[in-house]
Structure 1
Amino acid sequence: MAKDTEKLIRQLSLISYLMAERRPVTATEIRRDVEGYSDMTEDAFARRFYADRAELDALGIHLSVDKPADGFSEQENYSLAPEAFHLPPIAFTDAERAALQTALTLLDGEFAYAEPLRLALQQITWGRPSPLGSDSRQTIGLGITASAGGGEVSARLAKIDTAIYRRKRIEFEYHTMERDTTESRKVDPYHLLFEGGQFYLVGYSHERKDVRVFRLSRIRGKVAYATKAEHDFQRPEDFDPRGYANRIPWQLGEPVGVAEVEIPEDLVWYVQRQFGEYGEFEGNVFKTPYRSDRLLISWALEYGLRILGPPALVDETRTRVDRIIEAHRGEPEPVVAAPAAPAPPPAESNGRGRSEAAIRPERFARLVTLATVLIAAGRKRDTLLVSDVCDQIQVSPQELREDIAVLNVVNFGGGAYVIYAEVTPTGEIEVDVEPYSDTFDRPARLLPIEGNALVAAIDHLKVVHADLQSARQKVVDALGFDPVEEGLHIVSPRVDEGIMHTVERAMHDNRLLQLEYWTPSSDRYSERSVEPYALINSREGWYVAAWDLKNESLRHFRLDRIKSAQVEERTFEPREGLNPAADIGGWPRTGRIGGSRSARVKINAEQARWARERRDVLTELEGGEIVVEITFKGLDFLVREVLKEAGDAVVLEPADAREAVLVAAEGLIARAT
């Protein structure tokens, strides 16, 4: 039997034993009666029992320890109160369940915490249908999902999540973009952030002797615990994870100056709403502290803004715009591809060998959930089908058989088993319930990773919905903590809550929506009367998918470009056959709009490593430069993307795109003189 399976049986048997006894028991009794301990030597039992207690504690299952006055460890008494294991009932209203049903369906399979999310939903909706799998009208579409970027990053996420809860120091190899080097890091993990489609770790770096932010996709190899201690650190009481969310790039680090940026009168509202917290206005001049001149210039060029000071920043801006103009005049310089580099060797793990690996929290929760399903069916003498249970728990038939085999061995010694279940040749599950099965007859407490999953899923949607927010609060109350404070903070694209609420209200009531909308490509405002159908997030931000009555077509309006919105008295009947989220897997996720063109853009060597993380690289060039692909439908979008690179990007083709960038850059110079 695999060691992780042995450990699962031990830990589940220990829980069952302590709750069935309903009294404090000694370590001697546990060693004698609980499955998995009786064959161990005294020293081995002491190590395993200590490790099991630590892991259960990390899973949110806290054993009570009564230490005698004389301090002899073998005389310590251990107990587990039912309220320390079972989840307090959560009384969701029908409206709250409907909100969960509509919202969380979107994240099924599209979330880094997909398995813990499903298990959490099984627990909190105990005895009632799960919110997942609903056929309710889809009014929210997710282009940017909280997927972790593959199994490797998901594994790091689970390890870091557990380390945060257990206050365990971790170590890993990290690729630092500024120096383009990979170095060892030893970190006290404080918090996780999800922002802009990426997961970040906020923690105390022992090498830098300060709090740093690490992007999980830049970690190389495995994440390992740095010590064997039960706890390594305590997070500072004044640590506020929200201080690391929604940080503007040009302000990361100690400021070197205060930039003065002229904002056109018709754009003051936009800059005030989207960037106001990063500076202050004096008339139509926006003053903002900055650390990186390039990133501040990048922002100004993207919106065609004029930098007034300080003089060194004005000069740097002029130099970069001149570079853009020079690079786009005439024919592009020929590019020379670099010789093909040999494939890098596979990354070596920096993990340390252990006699036993920690149990994945998801599997522990899955077994507890499966036990409740089987016990409920056994007591009702219901027939369970393998296919139905596989769908409910989201496992394969082979995994289900393995999990049932584990549960069949969970016992208190002396033949007092929790259940006995058997899969028949016809695909049914026959369950015999034992007297002590009441250990698992109610849903277990949400594990920390399940709580993070559930609350983070709600937060990821960024929907100002009273029922969803009240459901969130009930989950937080049942958990006893808010993951935003203790685990994971989802940072959604910035949206004006008043605009979001107005759009949602119009959708809910099937009322027409009057918009004052800013179109950056033509720098103009227009009045739109629309039928709102769905909210969709994308790589750029949130959109409302709406039927434009003037153009008689389905359009997508970015919420941050809506200057004002008003719900009309007129109602509308939803158009038959219209699916506003039909293309959610397309442009919102990839950025490639139907009918798009492609541009070949050269990025200089200094910025190439950042471009590799967000662009498709077509060619590696001599000297470290690269050629990337940027897809665009309108030239105005491409122009903004190139100007954002602040002189570090050159369009090679098509020719009309080169000309458009040149005209835009010359216009910037003209406005500055």
Structure 2
Amino acid sequence: MAKGAHQKGKVLRLCQLLLERSDEEHPISTQALIQALEGWDIHAERKSIYADMETLREQGLDVQHRRGRDGGWFIGQRTFQLPELKLLVDAVQSSRFITSRKSSALIHKLESLASVHQARQLQRQVYDTGRAKSLNERVYYSIDKLHTALSSGKAVSFRYFEYNVKKERVFRRGGRRYTVSPYGLIWDSSNYYLAGYDHQKKELRHYRVDRMEDLALTGLPLEGREALGTLDLASYSQRHFGMFGGRTAQLSLRCRNSMVGVVLDRFGQESILVPDGPEHFVVTVEAVFSTQMMGWLFGLGTAVELRSPAWAVAEYRGQLSKVLGQYQADP
């Protein structure tokens, strides 16, 4: 091959070198760039490097140059800065709906958006208590299909399963397919859920995406538009503790003042807190009263008291009595 045959790719190679090997803490000297280009049979002179860097700047790349003994060329602003990439890596690593293998693949792709030096900082283990990874490898592609269904306005069908003590899949409804008009996807407690209108039950329900099998788009039009039209997914997720089902109610809670942050984190900044004496406040919230909700209340101990409605107080007392009964019997 004639000398200089690779010269046309010179600017592209320089761009690649800068993106992969440089950052503010690791600039590349002009001489190092010239030597690296030689590895691709590309000849370069110092003056031409400066001209090429100006070309890259004109194309929108934030090429910076630092003079001095430890100076050189580097990329300043990138599409994603290192702190942003760390947040994305943490989210991928701690998400239950993404399998371990898919997490590794996604993190590797995120690393390619940083320099090789910064990528080492992304190779870290995130510990998230109780966040076991999904065993369903296809969940990643199921999410993509669900987004397609949402954008096209078509219903989906799937089989839905749970696990037994042998870790075997047990399909609900005897393995018959569910047909659901999708409304939106909810990410709650590191799980993805589909909120939609169940064609058989004729009601709004939610389903864990990693428990879906054989998900398929259908040609069926959406149903339940009246039920779904006024639904706000953010408030829907807020009402359902851990996405457990139950009876929706206006719950009155009497809380110690130290619980203000806990209540606002759970129910939102718009919650109305009414002072009740010097050390307490009362708040009324709309929530689905489920066993998960009772568990949240129990975890707060005497700092939060459920005051009403009466039926919810009775159910909570009954649940506490059942649990206490398990520990009163002789071993």
Looking at structure 1, the residues matched to 213 and 52 of structure 2 have their Cα atoms a distance apart, in angstroms, of: 62
1:479 correspondence with 2:128: no
Which residue, out of 301, 310, 324, partners 1:655? 310
1:440 correspondence with 2:22: no
8 Å Cα contact 1:602-1:649 kept in structure 2:
yes
Which residue, out of 315, 318, 325, partners 1:670? 325
Looking at structure 2, the residues matched to 672 and 619 of structure 1 have their Cα atoms a distance apart, in angstroms, of: 37
In the TM superposition, 1:281-430 aligns within 5 A as none
* Other-structure match for 1:234: none
8 Å Cα contact 1:543-1:557 kept in structure 2:
yes
Which residue, out of 228, 237, 248, partners 1:588? 237
1:530 correspondence with 2:165: no
8 Å Cα contact 1:642-1:649 kept in structure 2:
yes
Gapped regions of structure 2 (runs ≥ 5): 1-21, 35-49, 63-74, 150-155, 164-169
8 Å Cα contact 1:62-1:80 kept in structure 2:
no
Instruction: Report SS of the residue matched to 1:622.
Output: coil
8 Å Cα contact 1:502-1:567 kept in structure 2:
no
RMSD between aligned residues = 5.1
Looking at structure 1, the residues matched to 140 and 111 of structure 2 have their Cα atoms a distance apart, in angstroms, of: 27
Looking at structure 2, the residues matched to 609 and 467 of structure 1 have their Cα atoms a distance apart, in angstroms, of: 35
Looking at structure 2, the residues matched to 506 and 611 of structure 1 have their Cα atoms a distance apart, in angstroms, of: 31
8 Å Cα contact 1:598-1:631 kept in structure 2:
yes
Deviation at 1:654, TM superposition (A): 1.9
1:514 correspondence with 2:150: no
8 Å Cα contact 1:531-1:572 kept in structure 2:
no
Deviation at 1:482, TM superposition (A): 4.5
Which residue, out of 171, 188, 201, partners 1:551? 201
Q: TM-score, normalised by structure 2?
A: 0.52
Deviation at 1:573, TM superposition (A): 0.9
* Other-structure match for 2:19: none
Instruction: Report SS of the residue matched to 2:122.
Output: helix
1:603 correspondence with 2:255: yes
Looking at structure 1, the residues matched to 142 and 53 of structure 2 have their Cα atoms a distance apart, in angstroms, of: 51
Looking at structure 2, the residues matched to 468 and 669 of structure 1 have their Cα atoms a distance apart, in angstroms, of: 41
Deviation at 1:606, TM superposition (A): 6.2
Looking at structure 1, the residues matched to 311 and 299 of structure 2 have their Cα atoms a distance apart, in angstroms, of: 19
Deviation at 1:598, TM superposition (A): 1.9
* Other-structure match for 1:567: 214
Deviation at 1:537, TM superposition (A): 0.3
Amino acid corresponding to residue 136 of structure 2 in structure 1: I
* Other-structure match for 1:453: 84
Amino acid corresponding to residue 122 of structure 2 in structure 1: V
8 Å Cα contact 1:506-1:512 kept in structure 2:
no
8 Å Cα contact 1:599-1:653 kept in structure 2:
yes
Looking at structure 2, the residues matched to 602 and 545 of structure 1 have their Cα atoms a distance apart, in angstroms, of: 32
> 1:287-336: per-residue Cα shift (whole Å, max 9, x none)?
xxxxxxxxxxxxxxxxxxxxxxxxxxxxxxxxxxxxxxxxxxxxxxxxxx
8 Å Cα contact 2:194-2:207 kept in structure 1:
yes
Looking at structure 1, the residues matched to 122 and 321 of structure 2 have their Cα atoms a distance apart, in angstroms, of: 46
Amino acid corresponding to residue 597 of structure 1 in structure 2: A
The change in CA–CA distance for 1:490 and 1:439 in structure 2 (over 3 A counts) is farther
Amino acid corresponding to residue 601 of structure 1 in structure 2: L
Amino acid corresponding to residue 218 of structure 2 in structure 1: E
Instruction: Report SS of the residue matched to 1:551.
Output: coil
* Other-structure match for 1:576: 221
Amino acid corresponding to residue 473 of structure 1 in structure 2: H
Deviation at 1:556, TM superposition (A): 0.8
> 1:499-523: per-residue Cα shift (whole Å, max 9, x none)?
36357449649984322359xxxxx
Looking at structure 1, the residues matched to 76 and 85 of structure 2 have their Cα atoms a distance apart, in angstroms, of: 9
Deviation at 1:665, TM superposition (A): 1.6
Aligned length: 243
Looking at structure 1, the residues matched to 26 and 143 of structure 2 have their Cα atoms a distance apart, in angstroms, of: 47
Looking at structure 1, the residues matched to 317 and 307 of structure 2 have their Cα atoms a distance apart, in angstroms, of: 12
Looking at structure 1, the residues matched to 186 and 98 of structure 2 have their Cα atoms a distance apart, in angstroms, of: 14
Which residue, out of 273, 285, 298, partners 1:618? 273
Deviation at 1:634, TM superposition (A): 3.8
* Other-structure match for 1:643: 298
* Other-structure match for 1:276: none
Deviation at 1:626, TM superposition (A): 2.7
8 Å Cα contact 2:178-2:198 kept in structure 1:
yes
Looking at structure 2, the residues matched to 646 and 572 of structure 1 have their Cα atoms a distance apart, in angstroms, of: 46
Deviation at 1:601, TM superposition (A): 0.9
Instruction: Report SS of the residue matched to 2:136.
Output: helix
Q: TM-score, normalised by structure 1?
A: 0.29
Looking at structure 1, the residues matched to 304 and 98 of structure 2 have their Cα atoms a distance apart, in angstroms, of: 39
Which residue, out of 119, 135, 139, partners 1:498? 135
Deviation at 1:459, TM superposition (A): 5.6
The change in CA–CA distance for 1:577 and 1:526 in structure 2 (over 3 A counts) is closer
Instruction: Report SS of the residue matched to 2:314.
Output: helix
Instruction: Report SS of the residue matched to 2:273.
Output: strand
* Other-structure match for 1:632: 287
Looking at structure 1, the residues matched to 53 and 325 of structure 2 have their Cα atoms a distance apart, in angstroms, of: 83
The change in CA–CA distance for 1:640 and 1:617 in structure 2 (over 3 A counts) is farther
Instruction: Report SS of the residue matched to 1:587.
Output: helix
Instruction: Report SS of the residue matched to 1:633.
Output: strand
8 Å Cα contact 1:500-1:559 kept in structure 2:
no
Deviation at 1:662, TM superposition (A): 1.7
What is the percentage of aligned positions where both structures have the same residue? 11
* Other-structure match for 1:103: none
> 1:93-123: per-residue Cα shift (whole Å, max 9, x none)?
xxxxxxxxxxxxxxxxxxxxxxxxxxxxxxx
